[in-house]
Amino acid sequence: MSSKVTSIGLKGLEGYRVQVEVQVKDGIETMIIVGLPDASVKESKERVSAALHSLGFSLVDMKVTINLSPAEQKKNGPLFDLAIAVAVLKSGNFLKELIPQDSGFIGALSLDGSILPVEGMLAAILAAKKLQLDKLFLPYDPMIPNIEIPGLELVYIETLQDVIDVLRGQQLLTFTRPQKKRVEIQPVLRNFNQIIGHDVAKRALEIAASGEHFVLMDGPPGCGKSLLAETFQSNIPPLSKEGQLEKISLYQIAGASYHDPAQPPFRHPHHSASSVSVIGGGTSPKPGEVSLAHRGILFLGELGEFSKKTLDMLRQPLENKTVTISRVHSTVTYPANFIFIAAMNPCPCGYFGSSDHYCSCTDKQIKTYKNRVSGPILDRFDILLTLKAVNLKGHYVQDIESSNDIKKRVISAREIQYNRYGKEICNGSVPFEQLIQSSPLTSEQQNDLQQVSSKEGLSNRVQIKIIRLARTIADINGEDLISDQDLMEAMALRKLILPSSLSLLGEEKNPFIDKLH
């Protein structure tokens, strides 16, 4: 007798329908699994056989063949244990009731018939909705937040016997269990009112947070690069419900811990980290730091110390907002939409251009150090900041603006962008055609930008980034159109406003430019 039961497979965060087909024939007791199973899936036959035996269902004199379809997709993990067990019960004539094809089954089996949660369950739940399943049987996982998905009934079960009872029409008692309390110490976010000076950098980071722009900070050791980057996350608004689910799904698949689901992630890998740990990969591809930073911040300190291979591999996620990892049997894509913040010293010793320390590096050493970061990577930064050490004399802490005040402006600017584009997307990543259609430059502004670009030898990518920056500055200022002042400030953030360039944009004064100089 043959039977089919629906389950869900995962390729990264993307789920697909898996038909578990089981055929039971008379013969020597054996169980064979086909359909490109990995080692953990092949071991399912032992878990399923023991679980069925513990419930009194014997497979003596039965030859069981299990096919996981589609056969060309490699199957990973114990996610299919429950579906296999239900299909075996149906094929072995232990279960007479009809199993609906619009009901899915996921979960790992214990030898006593208990059903255990597995990695990637939240991603599987979201995939079940996209696959238009009506009902999903799954174990309860206290690490997953209580969610209600319209059109999808989640049936939480503890044992295989619970599944049999539900399929036979018996009422399952309401399964409730308190959420697992987290014992991790919640990180204390820094506040910009604790940072003295760096007014230009704070303004630039506010713009970066508002439009999701990338920032590269350059300066001597101890000038505040890491401090600014770590405080930057206090400017980022909390994640939406959809963002929280994506974050939890990625961290579950990676087996990484997290704190508050609503807090945008902040990832700070060391420069000795391998390219696989940063980008993602492995035999069974797992998310890397760029994916764990999804909807948050990726901070690379000492950018020049990262390997050239790792930095060049960043090009795809920085441009496409995704990471694609190809292996022999499958290709996995993970999201990687983050704000990229990087910092580096001006030279190997760190004191080139400093008025307080003597630089011991030769011109060749400085050039070699700078060349570690390739032109294509530098092109992908929206904002270039050169920081200097701050003289603490004459500064008053009580006069410094707090992160809460900055965050209010960031949220307001983002709401303007969401309303303009009709979805949750910012100026830093919206398609350029949509950006320029909603916010066209005047002919004079186009001419000015073209003249400066020709003079400085800018690529088309950098010119587009300047327009994106200008649009974000206009949103912060509450302007419908990009003004000349906004364009000036955007070019100043790319270090393009020089005394010789100001005449190209008129004689109007900009307080930001005055501070910069």
Residue 499 pLDDT exceeds 50: no
Question: Do 242 and 391 share a domain, yes or no?
Answer: yes
Residue 515 pLDDT exceeds 80: no
Q: What percent of the chain has pLDDT over 70?
A: 91
User: What is the DSSP secondary-structure string of 56-68?
Assistant: T---TTEEEEEEE
- For the stretch 469-484, pLDDT in tens is 999 999 999 999 999 9
The answer to whether position 108 is within a domain reads yes
pLDDT at 507: 40
Q: What is the band of 47 on the pLDDT scale with cuts at 50, 70, 90?
A: very high
pLDDT at 267: 95
> What is the C-alpha separation between 327 and 315, in angstroms, rounded?
20
Question: Do 392 and 435 share a domain, yes or no?
Answer: no
Residue 174 pLDDT exceeds 70: no
Which pTM was predicted? 0.84
Residue 393 pLDDT exceeds 80: no
Question: Do 6 and 155 share a domain, yes or no?
Answer: yes
Question: Do 352 and 270 share a domain, yes or no?
Answer: yes
pLDDT at 173: 56
Angle between helices 44-54 and 81-91 (to 10 degrees): 60
Question: Do 132 and 253 share a domain, yes or no?
Answer: no
- Mean local confidence (pLDDT), 308-319: 90
Tell me the three-class secondary structure of 477-500, residue by residue.
CCCCCCCHHHHHHHHHHCCCCCCC
Residue for token digits 């974000």?
472
Question: Do 365 and 499 share a domain, yes or no?
Answer: no
Residue that finishes a domain, picked among 353, 380, 400: 400
Query: What is the token pair recorded at 165?
Result: 């009872």
Query: What is the token pair recorded at 197?
Result: 């000076």
Question: Do 319 and 225 share a domain, yes or no?
Answer: yes
Residue 500 pLDDT exceeds 50: no
The answer to whether position 194 is within a domain reads no
Q: What is the band of 188 on the pLDDT scale with cuts at 50, 70, 90?
A: low
Query: Across the chain, what does the average pLDDT equal?
Result: 87
The answer to whether position 423 is within a domain reads no
pLDDT at 389: 82
Residue 352 pLDDT exceeds 90: no
Question: Do 388 and 445 share a domain, yes or no?
Answer: no
Q: Which of 247, 200, 212, 235 is nearest to 495 (CA)?
A: 200
Question: Do 225 and 351 share a domain, yes or no?
Answer: yes
pLDDT at 21: 95
Question: What is the CA 507 to chain-centroid distance, rounded?
Answer: 43
For position 17, which CATH number holds? 3.30.230.10
Most confident of 192-201, 417-426, 487-496: 417-426
Question: Do 269 and 122 share a domain, yes or no?
Answer: no
Residue that finishes a domain, picked among 109, 141, 167: 167
Residue for token digits 């997290």?
258
Residue range of the domain that includes 507: 431-516
Residue that finishes a domain, picked among 129, 152, 167: 167
Question: Do 320 and 381 share a domain, yes or no?
Answer: yes
Domain count of the fold of the chain: 3
- Mean local confidence (pLDDT), 408-437: 94
The answer to whether position 245 is within a domain reads yes
The answer to whether position 416 is within a domain reads no
Question: Do 233 and 339 share a domain, yes or no?
Answer: yes
pLDDT at 14: 87
Distances (CA, A) of 34 to 64, 65, 71, 118: 11, 8, 8, 21
The answer to whether position 415 is within a domain reads no
* Higher pLDDT pick, 511 / 208: 208
The answer to whether position 149 is within a domain reads yes
pLDDT at 331: 82
The answer to whether position 202 is within a domain reads no
For position 278, which CATH number holds? 3.40.50.300
pLDDT at 133: 94
